Structure 1
Amino acid sequence: MAEAEVYRFENGEPVAKRVRKGTLLHQKKMQRLCEEVASGNKTTQEFLAAVGHCIRIHV
């Protein structure tokens, strides 16, 4: 696997990054909310409230 990574790096190919399952779920949720606003199914106020519920603050 290391040789394959070196080969990709030398040829200028992007190195695949690990994406966590939670991140993918969050991105899909945000994408769906954006689509709902664009289609007129949600108002801006509803969108902002939904985004507020999706955000987690780690202190």
Structure 2
Amino acid sequence: MTRPASEAVEGPDSPTDQRDRSIVAAMLCRKWIKEQFPKPSKEQLKIVEEQRKIHEKRMKLEQE
């Protein structure tokens, strides 16, 4: 059975503290990922799409 908040275990390993640390770690990970992999611009997406089409044409020609 769970204890009321007034009797909660306090300290570095309390469940609340562990949860808070997990949340902070997740936020830092998301921030780092966004910094490492910024969203591509529309121009970059167009270039990638053109390269993909060229690649597909080459693959079709090689198969024939």
For the aligned pair, the TM-score class normalised by the smaller chain equals 0.3 to 0.5
Write 1 or 2 for the structure with the bigger share of helix.
Answer: 2
Q: TM-score scaled to structure 2, two decimals?
A: 0.41
Query: Larger relative contact order (C-alpha < 8 A, sep ≥ 6)?
Result: 1
